[in-house]
């Protein structure tokens, strides 16, 4: 079939013919759409380029818009003496099964659990919202369409996030768990502790250099929330989280929105599947991304109302992202362990409380839990459908906030990222 036939009107859908102009040139049919598509049409046209939105494509296109890689691991950072030494020491841990190796792999893994895309999201929301007219030219990165201070905040966000994940890789070697005959685990702990401290201290220096007291207070509360997330609910001896025992009577739990600087109330959420999952993941992820988006709008001189919407956007996007990741261990052919505080399992426990006796077997060590049995129960119960519904709710909530911003390439890129998460 010739190209002329492909673009002939009779091969086109009727809804396209209504807005098309056909020109005959040497007997060939040529389709020329009129240039009056709205921004929403363009947005959804881009989303519909593939049958299923692709995560890697969405992130790659977003990078081009702000001129920023998905990680602060720039050449400047990688070539520093401190990181070069850490890389050499990490080689000694190969084969030791230390959790730090898994964290390092996660930093480089190119998938939906890519923890480095957070800085990219902060810059995209920065560009999508724009900045006030009184920002001096010297503070603007006109090529990328963001402020230099916003780019610094994006790096701070990733450094805080990464330092937290590295610190979580510490292994409890206190008796009776001290079985580190080779000393590899203790060595890994030292590397994890010092590497995490290095990142956190550098993030504090960069944050202080922005010279914005309100922003420092906001981001400090996000670090507090990350820390508090490690003390929510029951834990095993290695501090792996376990869900709280389901409550017979469910009480509605309302998240704080008016003043997100205040700590969240933990006790009221425990035992309520959706409230507990939301609380854990707001503390562990949503708070940092939400407050980073709020902070970047503060740097741009936007109103408090828009700053609050930035917080809601980041929080809902982080929760939708986590709900998407929680479903992955239950895909066909999956096996092995998974997080015991993932949404599908927590919803299943809420629906079938007698299963909690299997969770209690992991109070000493989560490895004692029968994961195959729990996976089978999740697949038979309502957990996966409720998680998908939860994911959709947070995706739509994030998209609703996003659509209040002016139409732009940055807004479309964020919509593509939300679609890639929602459709997975």
State pLDDT tens for residues 160-185.
988 888 888 887 877 665 565 566 77
Q: Per-residue pLDDT tens for 221-248?
A: 999 999 999 999 898 888 889 999 998 7
User: What pLDDT does 82 receive?
Assistant: 53
Measured CA to CA, the distance from residue 301 to residue 39 in angstroms comes to 25
Residue with tokens 């990222």: 417
Average pLDDT score over residue span 278-305: 94
* Count of Cβ atoms closer than 10 Å to residue 262 Cβ: 9
Average pLDDT score over residue span 94-115: 54
Q: Per-residue pLDDT tens for 381-390?
A: 999 999 999 9
pTM, two decimals, is 0.79
User: What pLDDT does 27 receive?
Assistant: 46
Greater confidence (100 vs 312) lies with 312
Bridge partners for 32 per DSSP: 21
Per the structure block, which two tokens stand in for 180?
Answer: 């580190």
pLDDT band at 80 (very low <50, low <70, confident <90, very high): low
Contact, 211 vs 225, CB < 8 A? Answer: no
* Count of Cβ atoms closer than 10 Å to residue 140 Cβ: 16
Q: What is the CA radius of gyration of the chain?
A: 24
Contacts of 211 (CB under 8 A, 6+ apart): none
* Count of Cβ atoms closer than 10 Å to residue 270 Cβ: 19
Measured CA to CA, the distance from residue 394 to residue 65 in angstroms comes to 25
What is the dihedral angle through the alpha carbons of 117, 121, 123, 127, rounded to the nearest 10 degrees? Answer: 150
Bridge partners for 23 per DSSP: 30
Per the structure block, which two tokens stand in for 75?
Answer: 């050449």
Mean pLDDT over each residue of the chain, to the nearest integer: 78
User: What pLDDT does 72 receive?
Assistant: 46
pLDDT band at 205 (very low <50, low <70, confident <90, very high): very high
Average pLDDT score over residue span 186-215: 88
Greater confidence (302 vs 103) lies with 302
User: What pLDDT does 264 receive?
Assistant: 80
**From the centroid of its chain, how far is CA 273?**
21
Given a cut of 90, is residue 265 above it in pLDDT?
no
Identify the CA nearest to 62 among candidates 319, 423, 408: 408
The highest-confidence range among 36-50, 251-265, 302-316, by mean pLDDT, is 302-316
* Count of Cβ atoms closer than 10 Å to residue 120 Cβ: 25
Measured CA to CA, the distance from residue 418 to residue 424 in angstroms comes to 10
The CA–CA distances, whole Å, from 277 to 121, 247, 370 equal 23, 14, 21
Average pLDDT score over residue span 80-102: 54
Residues 271-300 as b/e (b if ≥16 CB within 10 A, e otherwise) read bbbbbbbbbbbbbbbbbbbbbbbbbbbbbb
Measured CA to CA, the distance from residue 69 to residue 287 in angstroms comes to 23
User: What pLDDT does 6 receive?
Assistant: 38
The CA–CA distances, whole Å, from 280 to 62, 66, 264 equal 29, 31, 10
Per DSSP bridges, beta strands 20-25 and 28-33 are antiparallel
* CATH of region 55-173+180-423: 1.10.600.10
Measured CA to CA, the distance from residue 375 to residue 378 in angstroms comes to 5
* Helical ranges in 97-212 per DSSP H: 99-108, 118-129, 148-167, 184-209
**From the centroid of its chain, how far is CA 6?**
41
Greater confidence (184 vs 38) lies with 184
Contact, 226 vs 287, CB < 8 A? Answer: yes
Given a cut of 80, is residue 342 above it in pLDDT?
yes
Given a cut of 70, is residue 73 above it in pLDDT?
no
Contacts 24+ apart (CB under 8 A), 64-67: 65/124, 65/127, 65/409, 65/410, 65/413, 66/120, 66/123, 66/124, 66/126, 66/127, 66/144, 66/145, 66/146, 66/410, 67/143, 67/144
**From the centroid of its chain, how far is CA 241?**
19
Greater confidence (274 vs 5) lies with 274
Choice among 131-145, 182-196, 289-303, 362-376 with the minimum mean pLDDT:
182-196
């Amino acid at each position: 079939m010739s190209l002329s036939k492909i673009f002939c009107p009779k091969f086109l859908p009727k809804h396209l013919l209504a807005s098309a102009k056909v020109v005959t040139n040497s007997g060939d049919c040529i389709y020329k759409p009129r240039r009056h598509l709205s921004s929403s049409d363009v947005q959804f046209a881009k989303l519909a380029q593939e049958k299923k939105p692709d995560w890697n494509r969405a992130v790659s296109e977003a990078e081009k818009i702000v001129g920023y890689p998905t990680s602060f691991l720039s050449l400047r950072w990688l070539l520093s003496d401190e990181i070069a030494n850490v890389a050499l020491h990490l080689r000694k841990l190969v084969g030791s099964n230390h959790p730090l190796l898994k964290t390092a792999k996660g930093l480089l893994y190119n998938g939906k659990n890519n923890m480095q895309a957070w800085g990219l999201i902060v810059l995209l929301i920065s560009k999508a919202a724009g900045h006030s007219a009184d920002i001096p030219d010297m503070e603007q990165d006109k090529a990328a369409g963001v402020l230099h201070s916003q780019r610094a905040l994006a790096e701070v966000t990733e450094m805080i996030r990464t330092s937290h994940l590295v610190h979580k890789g510490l292994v409890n070697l206190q008796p009776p768990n001290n079985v580190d005959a080779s000393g590899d685990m203790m060595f890994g702990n030292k590397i994890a502790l010092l590497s995490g401290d290095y990142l956190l201290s550098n993030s504090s220096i960069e944050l202080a250099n922005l010279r914005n007291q309100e922003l420092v207070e906001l981001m400090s509360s996000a670090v507090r929330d990350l820390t508090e997330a490690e003390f929510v609910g029951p834990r095993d001896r290695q501090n792996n989280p376990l869900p709280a025992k389901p409550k017979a009577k469910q009480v509605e739990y309302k998240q704080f929105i008016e003043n997100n600087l205040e700590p969240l109330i933990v006790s009221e959420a425990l035992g309520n599947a959706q409230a507990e999952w939301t609380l854990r993941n707001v503390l562990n992820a949503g708070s940092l991304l939400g407050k980073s988006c709020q902070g970047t709008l503060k740097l741009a001189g936007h109103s408090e109302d828009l700053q609050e919407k930035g917080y809601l956007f980041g929080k809902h996007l982080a929760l939708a992202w986590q709900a998407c990741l929680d479903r992955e261990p239950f895909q066909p052919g999956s096996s092995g362990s998974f997080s015991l505080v993932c949404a599908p399992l927590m919803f299943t426990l809420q629906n079938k409380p007698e299963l909690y006796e299997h969770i209690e077997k992991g109070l000493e060590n989560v490895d004692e839990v029968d994961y195959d049995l729990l996976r089978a129960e999740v697949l038979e119960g309502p957990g996966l459908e409720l998680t998908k519904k939860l994911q959709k709710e947070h995706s739509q909530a994030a998209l609703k906030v996003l659509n209040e911003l002016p139409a732009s390439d940055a807004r479309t890129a964020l919509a593509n990222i939300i679609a890639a998460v929602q459709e997975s």
